[in-house]
Every structure is written in structure tokens, then in C-alpha cells.
């Protein structure tokens, strides 16, 4: 049983589709993770070291600090939506095909 599982995993691992799945996943998450972390840390840093900029009033009592904070919400919602769309379209079909391959291999 264990032997057969290991062989099936091996077969999926060596499939061209799996290499492609890994590539797509990494190419998405690495740059986006760097981007949202940098964007968040920039916000934290501005609260510490760019107070003059943050205190600038934009409309009435609404200042840059508040807008910067609200933009963190906007970017989080947006990245969550973009990732969901990307995963549904580019990752799920490949994963489903490979999962089916795994089931076929195990039955052999």
C-alpha cells in the first residue's frame, strides 16, 4: 500500500504539469508576498519616522495617515481577490488533473 502510494506520488512529481504548477504558484506568491510586506512595513515605518507627511490634512479632518491606513485595507482586499481569481483559473485545473493522475497511478 505504502509502496504504491510512494510510486504514485513519484509519478505525479515527475509530470510536466506538476513542474508547471509549482512554477505558477511560486511566481505568484513570491513577488506578491514581498510586495504586501514591503507596503505594510512602509506604513509602519511612516508612522514612526515620517510624521510630518502622515499629518498632512487632505480633506477636512482626514489626513494622510488615515488614508494610508485605509489603503492597507484596500490592498488586502484586492490581493485576496486577485489571488483567488488566479488560483481558480491557473492553479485549480492543473491540480485537479494531477490529482486524477495520482488516483489512476494508485490503481495500477
Partner 1 sequence: MLIPLAETGNRTLTISLFSAVVAVTLYITWWASRQNKTTADYYAGGRNFSGAQNGLAVAGDYMSAASFLGISGSIALYGYDGFLYSIGFLVAWLVALLLVAELLRNSGRFTMADQLAFRMKQKPVRTAAATSTIVVSIFYLLAQMVGAGSLVGLLLGVKSEGVKAGVIILVGALMIVYVTIGGMKGTTWVQIVKAVLLMTGTVLITFLVLLKFDFNISKLLGAAAANSGKGEAFLQPGLLYGKDLVGQIDFLSLGLALVLGTAGLPHILIRFYTVPDSRSARRSVQWAIGLIGAFYLMTLALGFGAAALINTAKGSPVAESKGNIASPTLAEAVGGGAGSVGGSILLALIAAVAFATILAVVAGLTLTSASSFAHDLYANVIAKTKPSEKSELRVARFAAIGIGAVAIALAIPAQKLNIAFLVALAFAVAASANLPSLLFNLFWKRFNTSGAVWSIYGGLISAVGLVVFSPVVSGKPTSMITGADFAWFPLSNPGIVSIPLGFLFGVLGTYLGKDRSSEDRYKELTVRALTGAGAETASKH
Binding site for partner 1 (CB under 8 A): 5-6, 8-10, 12-13, 18, 21-22, 25, 28-29, 32-33, 36-37, 40-41, 43-45, 47-49, 51, 54-55, 57, 59-63, 65-66, 69-70, 72-73, 76-77, 79-81, 83-84, 87-88, 92, 94-95, 98-99, 102-103
- C-alpha 99/C-alpha 44 separation (Å) is 42
Minimum Å distance from CB 86 to partner 1?
Answer: 10
Minimum Å distance from CB 48 to partner 1?
Answer: 4
Contact (CB, 8 A) for 40 and 69: no
Residue by residue, DSSP assigns 50-93 as -HHHHT-EEETTEEHHHHHHHHHHHHHHHHHHHHHHHIIIIIHH
Amino acid at each position: 500500500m505504502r509502496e504504491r502510494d510512494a510510486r504514485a506520488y513519484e509519478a505525479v512529481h515527475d509530470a510536466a504539469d506538476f513542474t508547471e504548477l509549482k512554477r505558477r504558484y511560486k511566481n505568484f506568491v513570491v513577488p506578491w508576498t514581498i510586495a504586501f510586506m514591503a507596503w505594510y512595513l512602509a506604513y509602519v515605518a511612516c508612522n514612526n519616522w515620517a510624521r510630518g507627511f502622515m499629518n498632512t490634512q487632505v480633506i477636512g479632518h482626514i489626513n494622510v495617515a488615515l488614508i494610508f491606513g485605509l489603503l492597507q485595507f484596500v490592498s488586502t482586499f484586492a490581493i485576496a481577490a486577485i489571488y483567488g481569481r488566479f488560483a481558480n483559473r491557473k492553479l485549480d485545473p492543473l491540480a485537479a488533473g494531477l490529482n486524477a493522475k495520482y488516483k489512476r497511478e494508485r490503481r495500477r
